[in-house]
Structure 1
Amino acid sequence: MKKLLYITANTKPEDLSVSKTVGRSFVKEFLSKNADYMVEELDLYNENIPEINHRIFKGRAELVSGNDYNTLSDEDKKIVDRINELCNQFLSADTYVIAAPMWSVSYPARLKSYLDCIIINNRLIKISEEDIKGLLDDKKRNMVYIQSSAAVYPKIFNSKFNHAIDYFRDVFKFLGVNKFDYILVEGTEDSSVGKAKAIGNVQNNIKSVVNKFTENIPLMDRM
């Protein structure tokens, strides 16, 4: 069975979080069209996401192993074990759904910490003398980034106010993910829109992206 890894990055519970509410709607719609999928969830603000440090690496972003691992303190061994666990979870997925709010025209720091943990040598990337290559091209994978924001930003300013979209598109494409798309839930604190309307405005977007994933229509170059 295939796996959808649903990653959320918001301190709020789902009933108070717009990004999580829309993310849940997307997951439900996706499962209704893809019965061969199971879901695994990762709430980054309720999970142990280690702070990486130099002691757990043997150079060039590669985790220690073997005899080097045995020389680590118990605390550092737990960090290495947890990072390997997160990597294995990520690698086993076929579709990634990340739901997060826009914070400071970017994304929550915990989400960056998570990616820093898992994008390591010989797991998600391969570093050689010649180049650095993503390792997620071993099978077809999809990724959608769902972002909520308090205001509505004109599309001509997307490059200035939606840094997260560019970042995740570039990172996942580099890693080898075949398809990327995004859903913007805008105006949650705008008096002319509000949370309920902002959520309602993206329901057709949810169906459209799910259909594109299901029908294998290329998405990566949408922006």
Structure 2
Amino acid sequence: MTVLFVNACVRGDESRTLKLCREYLARFDGVEDVEEVDLAALGLSPFSAEMVASRSEKQLACDWDDPVFALSRQFAAADDIVIGAPYWDLSFPAALKVYIEHVSVCELAFHYTEDARCEGLCKARRLTYITTCGGFVEGANFGYEYFCGIARMFGIPEVRFVAAEGLDVVGIDVEAQMDKAREAMRKLD
């Protein structure tokens, strides 16, 4: 089994989201393969017109071994996907959107059927989205909602969500808020 951890915790070891992710990932000790994609270290660029043209040319040639498709192949092959992303500007850090732009490749992550329906090709049985928030999101975590849509597009049948909220509210018991998230993680099978 391959677990793919997409680390969008750009603050590194200072990140409370990363702390929760590491605790969650500890449940996979003994799993054959846990792969981490550290988006801060990866330094991906958004696609320019030239990059899109080059990738499209390689898609038409079915040159799937080209390095431009490596992230998409990795994502599509994972059995379980964990996304760790702090709540920023109503969603997540921009590096995560750029990563999905690199992953979202027709004929690797999804394709279109003869009757023009989008059909996912990803192997993952679930995607777990872990986040932390300085305030209280109150049901408006558009980052999580985005990943619900991406999972549908890529054919991932289950999406789960864990959040520690209110962590920057003056006077709040931060550890109690983190413990609520830990309890939610424990309940995930």
TM score, norm. by length of structure 2: 0.86
Contact 1:50-1:117 at 8 Å conserved across structures: no
Change (3 A) 1:57 1:194: same
Aligned to 2:56: 63
Distance 1:199 1:82, change over 3 A: farther
Cα pair 1:50 1:83 within 8 Å, conserved:
no
Q: Indicate yes or no: 2:119 matched with 1:131.
A: no
Within 2, Cα distance between the matches of 1:143 and 1:67? Answer: 29
Q: CA deviation at 1:54?
A: 2.7
Match of 1:105 in 2: 90
Indicate whether 1:26 and 2:24 are aligned.
Answer: yes
Tell me whether 1:114 sits opposite 2:99 in the alignment.
yes
Is the CA contact 1:151–1:187 (under 8 Å) kept in the aligned structure 2? yes
Identity %: 20
List gaps (5 residues or longer) in structure 2: none
Matched-pair contact (CA < 8 Å) for 1:96–1:142? yes
RMSD of Structure 2 on Structure 1 (CA) = 2.7
Correspondence for 1:178 = 157
Which of 36, 47, 56 in structure 1 is aligned with 2:42?
Answer: 47
Query: Any stretches of 5+ residues in structure 1 without a counterpart?
Result: 71-79, 212-223
Q: Answer yes or no: is the 8 Å Cα contact 1:135–1:175 preserved in 2.
A: yes
Residue deviations 1:197-217 (CA, integer Å, cap 9, x gap): 3222211111111x2xxxxxx
Q: Deviations over 1:62-91 (max 9, x none)?
A: 632289799xxxxxxxxx944311112112
Q: Does 1:163 align with 2:142?
A: yes
Aligned to 1:94: 79
SS at structure 2 position matched to 1:116: helix
In structure 1, how many angstroms separate the alpha carbons of the residues matched to 2:108 and 2:32? 23
- Which TM-score applies when normalising by structure 1? 0.74
- How far does residue 97 in structure 1 lie from its aligned partner after superposition? 0.3
Tell me, in whole angstroms, the C-alpha distance in 2 between the residues paired with 1:147 and 1:66: 34
Query: Which of the residues 115, 134, 143 maps onto 1:150?
Result: 134
CA 1:69–1:37: 2 relative to 1, 3 Å: closer
Residues matched between the structures, number: 188
**Structure 1 runs of 4+ with >4 Å offset:** 66-70
Q: Secondary structure at the match of 1:63?
A: helix
